[in-house]
Structure 1
Amino acid sequence: MLRLYFFISVMCLVKSDTDETCPSFTRLSFHSAVVGTGLNVRLMLYTRRNRTCAQAVNSTFLGNLNVTKKTTFVVHGFRPTGSPPVWMEDLVQGLLDVEDMNVIVVDWNRGATTVIYNHASSKTRKVAVVLKEFIDQMLVQGASLDDIYMIGVSLGAHIAGFVGKMYNGQLGRITGLDPAGPLFNGRPPEDRLDPGDAQFVDVIHSDIDALGYKEPLGNIDFYPNGGLDQPGCPKTILGGLRYFKCDHQRSVYLYLSSLRENCSITAYPCDSYRDYRNGKCVNCGIPPKESCPLLGYYADNWKEYLKQKDPPMTKAFFDTAEKEPFCMYHYFVDIITWNKNIRRGSITIKLRDKAGNITESKINHEPAVFQKYHQVSLLARFNQDLDKVATISLVFSTGSVIGPRYKLRVLRMKLRSLAHPERPQLCRYDLVLMENIETVFQPILCPKLLM
């Protein structure tokens, strides 16, 4: 009998050593991608009580999931090399930082890992079925569809959409992070993510000319830098693997920035990126208009306003910096000139505070037309927000390398912050800008009449 007890004890020790105490995301090799992988969906639960050690859950075992709290599902996309997503841990921790919720990582790496994109794409509906079975059990235990939030990346965005369709659009929210374009572009709503798949659907499009979906897919669709080339990403194939995935992944990192306190990215509802850059769509947030939508986690603050629209959909544009946290701060530079002849050109503006901090904006995407006694309002974007500006410098350029140098006679220049409209506006009068020559001056407070 003693030997039997000893044998059982040893077997228990062996079992505990070999079992995975803290389940982790499936890690596969490129070899697995070449030979292909069969679908196997694993669900890993994180909460504030177990932030770093996941609990494996499934439709027959909900584990420590608290059905009275919000539950956020994070669904990854195509994994051509088999490696875990490098952003996953940051996203889980960031979500738990902002709210006491359940976070479930949907690991379908066995299925998404393949060099043949079509094979991964064909498994998306099967993943959605697994998620529905799990959510059904949550509902049996007392959960509410209002509290279900799905964040889908690339193919994962369409998986979230398929789940939403199974519940007739009653899920609380879906966020699509650069939803996959290949094999989904031009497909009908039933075959992709759609605004009707949840009570609120927000989408970030960061690679619309390659791996991402171009057209709107949500109640609000955000297009950073127009949705095309993202600042800081390689422009040529010499950038290696980052050349192919950097723009696509930027949507995830922009979302991550919204979970941090040092950056709230404001977007501007507009019909086109060109109109936004030309300053035609930046009046939101200025009373009596509604506040501007925020990118990322807090995008649903705009949900009530969208309900007033028919249909409840809008596109929003903004620019970003090259590096995290990506925030840019918008100002209007209002210029009235008194040149006799029309001048066409661009303006570079540089701000400096008393501490010596400098931030610069080149307003050169489209030449401005300066006419006598006409005000031109130029949208300037800075990657720093200087509270108290000590000096301003302006450079006027026509873009001509050879030929005559022109002057721009400025009757009045005014600088006003869009992010902080309550701040005093700064003015300067009677300036002469020599082409390609920096003119530095100290601004003064604009008279109340001009504000």
Structure 2
Amino acid sequence: MWKFYLTISLMCLVRSDADETCATFTRLGFHNALIGTELDVRLLLYTKRNWTCAKIVNSMALGGLNITKKTTFLIHGFRPLGSAPVWLGDLVEGLLLVEDMNVVVVDWNRGATTVIYNQASSKTRRVAIVLKEFIEQMLAKGASLGNIYMIGVSLGAHIAGFVGKMYPGQLGRITGLDPAGPSFNGRPSEDRLDPSDALFVDVIHSDTDALGYEGPLGNIDFYPNGGLDQPGCPNTIFGGLQSYFKCDHQRSVYLYLASLREDCAVIAYPCDSYRDYRNGKCLSCGTARTEPCPRVGYYADQWKGYLKEKALPTTKAFFDTAEQKPFCIYHYFVDIISWNKNVRRGSITIKLRDKDGNTTESKIDHEPATFQKYHQVSLLARFDQDLREVAEISLVFSTGSVVSPKYKLRVIRMKLRSLAHPDRPQLCRYDLVLMENVETVFRPILCPKLQL
């Protein structure tokens, strides 16, 4: 008899240990990629209570998923080497830190792992069907479609779109992180992510000239650094073969991760083109008399009310980033009124220093500015540090010529105003003479409050 009880005890112990086992993302190798993998979708549930220990859920068993809370699905893309996405753990943790929700990692590594891209992309609709079956079970238990959020990376963005089409426009939100371009560029809306696939669709395009989708796909489409080459990524294969191919494409994920930080609000500016944004023509949002500027990433949906108010089906928004994490850039306008008799064309480099000696610099050279007598030129300056109290400013004027005589730029007034913090005091300086290629350093003063 004691053997029977011992056997039962051991079985219970094994079962208990199995119940406590944490599920992990499927890890495969290059061998699997060479021979290809059949599709097998696993859903890994993380919650605030178990944010480091995933549990397997499926259409037959929701497990610890709380249907009264938001459910966020994370959907990866093509995995040519079979490894787990390096950003996955950080994204799960970041989401659970900002909100108490269900996070479901959609592990379709068996299916996405192959050296032949088209084999992976051909399975995206089948992944969407699996997710629909799971969502149907959620709905049967009382969940709401409006409480479902899908974050899709590369091919995963189109998978999210296919799920959204099965519930026409009723999903709460879809975020596309550099949706895949190959096999999807130029396809009709039913064959890719589309603005109509959810109540709100936001997209970050970081590699439109290679692995990412070329055109707009959301209610608002964000284009960091114009959507092309990202600062800090290698420009040639000599910077690392894998990084050369993946860095721009993955930057969208890291920008989304940056948006989850309290110290880095990534702001974008609605505009028709990156060129117009760089030339300071589209920076009217964020002032007291206008709507706020849209935020990139997790909080992008705070802007959807303004989209509906203006009845805009789609909006493009542009912004620049720094080379390193968390990638934040702080925008200022540098307003210059000159009094040269003759027109001067050139660029301005501005450096800021605070009382502790911290410095940050911006070279405003996207296009040469034209300085005319008594005419105000507003230049967009981008800094990678946010200095709260500017104690010193330096300016350098350059025409870019190496053979012509040195010119002077006579300045009646220079004004510095923060776009990221419009409530901060504006700083001025009067009667400056900038010798070409010579740094002019000065202490600013507060601008008169009534000055326009």
1:340 Cα deviation after fit: 1.5
Root mean square deviation of aligned Cα: 1.5
1:20 Cα deviation after fit: 8.2
1:16 Cα deviation after fit: 6.9
The question of 1:217 aligning with 2:217 is answered yes
Q: Give 2:268's aligned residue.
A: 267
* Structure 2 counterparts to residues 41-440 of structure 1, below 5 A: 41-240=41-240, 241-440=242-441
1:18 Cα deviation after fit: 7.7
Cα distance in 2 for residues equivalent to 1:408 and 1:348: 13
Cα offsets for 1:173-204 (capped at 9, x unmatched) = 00000000001000000000000000000000
Identity of aligned residues (%): 79
| Amino acid across the alignment from 1:50 | N
Q: After alignment, is 218-227 or 382-391 more displaced?
A: 382-391
Cα distance in 2 for residues equivalent to 1:316 and 1:402: 39
Q: Give 2:25's aligned residue.
A: 25
| Amino acid across the alignment from 1:126 | R
| Amino acid across the alignment from 1:408 | L
1:352 Cα deviation after fit: 0.5
Cα distance in 1 for residues equivalent to 2:449 and 2:3: 94
Cα offsets for 1:363-386 (capped at 9, x unmatched) = 001111111111110000111111
**Aligned to 1:305, what secondary structure does the other structure show?**
helix
Q: What TM-score do the two structures reach when normalised by structure 1?
A: 0.97
Cα offsets for 1:186-224 (capped at 9, x unmatched) = 000000000000000000000000000110000000000
1:330 Cα deviation after fit: 0.7
| Amino acid across the alignment from 2:224 | P
Q: After alignment, is 132-141 or 236-245 more displaced?
A: 236-245
**Aligned to 2:450, what secondary structure does the other structure show?**
helix
**Aligned to 1:412, what secondary structure does the other structure show?**
strand
| Amino acid across the alignment from 2:163 | V
**Aligned to 2:309, what secondary structure does the other structure show?**
coil
1:9 Cα deviation after fit: 5.4
Cα distance in 2 for residues equivalent to 1:11 and 1:447: 80
1:421 Cα deviation after fit: 1.4
Cα offsets for 1:95-138 (capped at 9, x unmatched) = 00000100000000000000000000000000000000000000
1:419 Cα deviation after fit: 1.3
Q: After alignment, is 287-296 or 140-149 more displaced?
A: 287-296
Cα distance in 2 for residues equivalent to 1:177 and 1:20: 33
How many residues get paired?
451
Cα distance in 2 for residues equivalent to 1:12 and 1:203: 48
Q: After alignment, is 3-12 or 216-225 more displaced?
A: 3-12
1:398 Cα deviation after fit: 1.1
| Amino acid across the alignment from 2:415 | K
1:10 Cα deviation after fit: 5.5
The question of 1:36 aligning with 2:36 is answered yes
Segments of structure 1 that go 5 or more residues without pairing to the other structure are none
Q: What TM-score do the two structures reach when normalised by structure 2?
A: 0.97
Cα offsets for 1:225-277 (capped at 9, x unmatched) = 10011111111111121011000000000000111101001110000000001
